[in-house]
């Protein structure tokens, strides 16, 4: 597949379709594969290497992969022989295309609770990455979407390349940015993060640097050499030696209309301002109106509520939102339209932004009672 150009267009449905619906043979093969084979661990000198190993699915995360990485990072955190951790993706298509949305779709149809358990573990992993006591280097090469952002952008040394195509395309499938994405994008300059979240725009490496999702640009051809140097040298010094000046961010150049158009907390008003601005802004309005209206409004509220939160607090709130999305119609319908049937014509319920009432949005953030997500921060508070 040809990768989308580094523009501000909506997330390409073809990218979502990389996570194809498996055949019976594929499912039997996947069930027979141990999670340790879906993610590989090795120690090279003082470097602990995590390789996501589902290249045919652009290394989309499964529950077994998340559990295995969580356990390995916990062990390496206390292992004095490991000075640095590196996370990378197998194959040449990308680090990670996100969570396994096909597995989520099957779980929704079955009325199961596997997705809730997957997210709980995934968010614990995101939290651990942020607080990891050693340099955590992420090679954000190729596609880095959704859950791929979670496993990389909370690290201490986040590296993009000229091949990077990243973003949070969740509203395309009736979902909301998670894995701490609402917090990350709420911290971006001006309203650029709001634009990225609502449109699901694909972002270049330079855009990721501008948004604060990454720290350094290294040409993809130099990543293997950098990994070799990381085996025995200081991570900070090694990365700085290989880093180069990135190209200009196209997203940053659009702040003249992004910031004023997205500076309100009202989604309908955002669309009105975008249409009035014309040009690229009007195209963004078209993009937003094609997304799930409920997801757009909940995503906007989630971004605003994330400001000033810790990562653990944001993840706990995203978990509330996620479970409500599982119970609603749009998440299931979005996956069906983009990945399963691929007709690209989701029937959103409700169908327009105007029909989504503020009370409907507020319900997504209501406490979960005994299903609340407990993360490290809260566990330590009650120790």
Q: At what angle do helices 293-306 and 192-199 cross, to 10 degrees?
A: 150
Is 178 a known active-site residue? Answer: yes
In 33-113, which residue ranges form alpha helices assigned H by DSSP? 35-38, 63-77, 101-110
Q: Which DSSP symbol is given to 21?
A: P
- Burial label for 22, CB within 10 Å (0-12, 13-18, 19+), is middle
Spell out where 120-160 has E strands: 136-140, 143-145, 157-160
In 311-357, which residue ranges form alpha helices assigned H by DSSP? 311-327, 329-335
Is 48 a known active-site residue? Answer: no
* Vertex 307: Cα angle to 301 and 313 (nearest 5): 90
Is 180 a known active-site residue? Answer: no
Out of 122, 141, 178, 233, pick the active-site residue: 178
Out of 94, 98, 142, 147, pick the active-site residue: 147
Cα distance between residue 216 and residue 141, in whole Å: 12
Pairing outcome for strands 47-52 and 39-44: antiparallel
Out of 18, 122, 130, 170, pick the active-site residue: 170
Is 170 a known active-site residue? Answer: yes
The CB-side HSE value for 302 (13 A sphere, CA atoms) comes to 36
Out of 64, 89, 94, 99, pick the active-site residue: 99
Kindly list the catalytic residues. 99, 147, 170, 178
């Amino acid at each position: 597949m040809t990768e989308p150009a580094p523009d501000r267009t909506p997330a390409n449905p073809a990218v979502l379709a990389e996570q194809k619906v498996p055949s019976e043979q594929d499912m039997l093969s996947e069930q027979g594969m141990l999670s340790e084979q879906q993610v590989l661990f090795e120690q090279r000198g003082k470097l602990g290497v995590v390789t996501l190993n589902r290249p045919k699915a652009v290394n989309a995360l499964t529950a077994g992969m998340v559990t295995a990485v969580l356990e390995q990072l916990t062990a390496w955190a206390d292992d004095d022989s490991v000075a640095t951790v590196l996370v990378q993706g197998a194959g040449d298509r990308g680090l990670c295309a996100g969570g396994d949305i096909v597995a989520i779709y099957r779980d929704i149809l079955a009325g199961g609770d596997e997705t809730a358990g997957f997210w709980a573990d995934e968010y614990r992993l995101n939290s651990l990455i942020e607080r990891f006591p050693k340099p955590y280097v992420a090679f954000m090469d190729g596609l880095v979407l959704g859950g791929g952002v979670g496993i990389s952008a909370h690290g201490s040394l986040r590296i993009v390349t000229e091949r990077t195509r990243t973003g949070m395309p969740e509203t395309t499938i009736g979902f909301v940015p998670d894995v701490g994405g609402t917090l990350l994008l709420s911290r971006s300059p001006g309203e650029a993060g709001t634009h990225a979240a609502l449109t699901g725009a694909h972002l270049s490496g330079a855009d990721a640097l501008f948004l604060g999702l990454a720290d350094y640009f290294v040409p993809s051809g130099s990543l293997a050499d950098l990994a070799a140097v990381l085996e025995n040298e200081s991570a900070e010094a090694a990365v700085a030696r290989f880093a180069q000046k990135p190209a200009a961010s196209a997203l940053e150049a659009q702040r003249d209309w992004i910031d004023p158009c997205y500076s309100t907390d009202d989604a309908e008003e955002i669309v009105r301002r975008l249409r009035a601005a014309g040009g690229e802004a009007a195209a963004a309005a078209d993009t937003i109106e094609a997304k799930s209206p409920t997801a757009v409004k909940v995503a906007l509220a989630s971004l605003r509520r994330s400001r000033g939160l810790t990562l653990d607090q944001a993840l706990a709130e995203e978990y509330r939102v996620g479970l409500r999305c599982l119970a609603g119609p749009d998440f299931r319908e979005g996956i069906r339209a983009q990945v399963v049937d691929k007709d690209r014509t989701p029937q959103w319920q409700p169908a327009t932004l105007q029909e989504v009432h503020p009370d409907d949005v507020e319900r997504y953030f209501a406490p979960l009672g005994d299903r609340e997500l407990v993360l490290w921060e809260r566990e330590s508070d009650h120790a």
